Amino acid sequence: MGLDDYIKRFAGCRVLVVGDVMLDEYVWGSVDRVSPEAPVQVVLVNSSTRTLGGAGNVVSNLAALGAKVFAVSLVGDDPAGRDVSSLLKSLGADVEGLLIDPSRPTTTKTRVMAAGQQVVRIDREKILPLSAGFEDKLAAHAEKCLEYCDAVLLSDYGKGILTPSILSRLIDACALAKKPVIADPKGLDFIRYQGATVLTPNLKEAAKACSMEILSQDDLEKAGKRLLNELSLACLVITRGPDGMALFFPDRPSLLIKARARQVFDVSGAGDTVLAVLGLGLASGADFEQAALVANEAAGVVVGKVGTATVSTEELLEALTSSADSISRKFRTTKGLAEELQAQKARGRKIVLARGCFDLLHSGHVGFLAQARKLGDMLVVALEDDASVARLKGPGRPILKLNDRVRVVSALDSVDFVTVFSGDFVGLLKALKPTVLACGREDAEDDFKQIVESYGGRTQKVAVEQGLSSAGIIEGIKNSVN
């Protein structure tokens, strides 16, 4: 089976997530002055959003890929706890195992964001030992859910849910039931995860757990083999950020999986994505290497988004399809792009949209797109599909078919995303709502001005190099041949 076959099985998987759920709150605003009371910035709040964090983000990743999720955790008897419960339910997760402890607040992280930058983070939490009663209830409910699940994910953020007793009970229960248990560890004492199927520390965590620096491949091998043997793991996955992953096995040499070069907006939650997708890979029947390859691609998608993000099945399949060609990672469907741009705009980024056929890309096109990119923070290029180009340009056009045009335009540094439309540019405008619509010589700026201004955007005429056109180049080739 190919990797795409396993991904298509994700929607049929049932996964148990046990760990520290949190509420991530983002307060979005702008800064234009310093406080007269103290040397600090004054943030004018525009909006706020609340999302699931910690183990909750693992649930979000699983749900985005169609899995049925059973969540076992603890929240406080407070508005944040009720928000967590509501958000989990909205994802279709089973929350029967979400217990309420009135003695502690729900862990909440509030990030104040301005101009795309985090100004300050405010944490509300109280890390207390679990009472024996809560410990037994959490473990018992997790053991009950295990009967219905294909894999168990342990998301440890060090907030006190995954006690040594709960970890031991769950790992033993998974071994008895022959279900894979994958743990994302926290702290220095990794012995608590002994007997897990897979452990997924990052490079820094692995180094601290081994009380050593990992500065070379030899260091990495030494640390990996040590953790693998001491913890009796079937596989150890050390995530290495832009360097990919390192896999260690008891019975064969280690394996390095490289990460492809990509534009990184935010690494928040990438570890949650790795845990979720690795678990789904094993639940769907993939082996360790196959599951890690898919998880590596999934992490690459989410770091290209802002905040704690998820990856869709469509995005993951596209990423794997384009694994030999990283520039096509800039391509987005209209629906996926609309969601991504909405999040970017909420964070204060200005989105520029340019449209065209871009058949036989020439210096005029390159100059136009370079100028358009300067009008904002991100440039989206909307390409007419082949049928539309044929209607606009006549028989024999386009010379370059759609897939080739997507690849050529994506290769430009000035371009952040590429999408495709079929004649209905007004529909695309209404879906994407760019901050600026960049208009070239072939654009009728007035045709779209009213639409763009209706949602608060603007149109901008961009100078284009005169005397160059794809039609002219084609005609010149014909004449030279004749």
- Distance between CA atoms of residues 357 and 393, nearest Å: 9
pLDDT tens-digit profile of 1-58? 678 888 989 998 999 999 999 999 999 999 889 999 999 899 999 888 899 999 999 9
Pair of tokens at residue 189: 């004492």
Of 53-67, 79-93, 102-116, 195-209, which gets the smallest average pLDDT?
Answer: 102-116
- Distance between CA atoms of residues 289 and 253, nearest Å: 12
**Mean pLDDT, to the nearest integer, of 299-318?**
77
Q: State yes or no: pLDDT of 366 exceeds 80.
A: yes
Say which residue the tokens 């990509």 belong to: 262
Can you give the pLDDT at residue 477?
A: 60
Give 142 or 389, the one with higher predicted confidence: 142
Domains 3-324 and 334-481 share a fold: no
Give 290 or 397, the one with higher predicted confidence: 290
* pLDDT above 70 as % of the chain: 90
**Mean pLDDT, to the nearest integer, of 464-475?**
59
Can you give the pLDDT at residue 326?
A: 44
**Mean pLDDT, to the nearest integer, of 463-470?**
62
- State the chain's mean pLDDT as an integer: 87
Give the phi and the psi of residue 397 in degrees, each rounded to 5: -110, 145
Q: 265 falls in which pLDDT band (50, 70, 90)?
A: very low
Can you give the pLDDT at residue 324?
A: 43
Q: Is 287 helix (H, G, I), strand (E, B) or coil?
A: coil
Active-site pick, 150, 156, 272, 386:
272
Can you give the pLDDT at residue 67?
A: 95
- Distance between CA atoms of residues 97 and 476, nearest Å: 71
Q: Nearest-5° angle of CA 302, CA 148, CA 297?
A: 20
Closest CA to 28 of 433, 343, 280: 343
**Mean pLDDT, to the nearest integer, of 411-437?**
89
- Distance between CA atoms of residues 320 and 257, nearest Å: 14
Pair of tokens at residue 170: 């769950």
Q: Class of 334-481 per CATH?
A: alpha beta
Positive/negative CA dihedral, 207, 209, 212, 218? negative
Q: State yes or no: pLDDT of 130 exceeds 60.
A: yes
Can you give the pLDDT at residue 470?
A: 57
Residues 6+ apart with CB under 8 A from 396: none
- Give catalytic status of residue 219 as yes or no: no
Can you give the pLDDT at residue 327?
A: 45
- Distance between CA atoms of residues 312 and 317, nearest Å: 9
Q: State yes or no: pLDDT of 446 exceeds 80.
A: no
**Mean pLDDT, to the nearest integer, of 438-456?**
78
Can you give the pLDDT at residue 403?
A: 81
Choosing among 3.30.750.80, 3.40.120.10, 3.30.70.3270, 3.40.1190.20, the CATH entry for 3-324 is 3.40.1190.20
Q: 208 falls in which pLDDT band (50, 70, 90)?
A: very high
Give 337 or 262, the one with higher predicted confidence: 337
Q: 154 falls in which pLDDT band (50, 70, 90)?
A: very high
- Distance between CA atoms of residues 211 and 431, nearest Å: 52
Enumerate the domain spans of the chain: 3-324, 334-481
Give 256 or 95, the one with higher predicted confidence: 95
Q: 330 falls in which pLDDT band (50, 70, 90)?
A: confident
Can you give the pLDDT at residue 473?
A: 59
The helix (H) or strand (E) run that includes residue 418 is strand 417-421
**Mean pLDDT, to the nearest integer, of 209-228?**
93
**Mean pLDDT, to the nearest integer, of 265-276?**
75
Closest CA to 358 of 375, 379, 329: 379
Of 268-272, 375-379, 420-424, which gets the smallest average pLDDT?
Answer: 268-272
Give 356 or 264, the one with higher predicted confidence: 356
Cis peptide before 250 (omega within 30 of 0): no
Q: State yes or no: pLDDT of 264 exceeds 50.
A: no
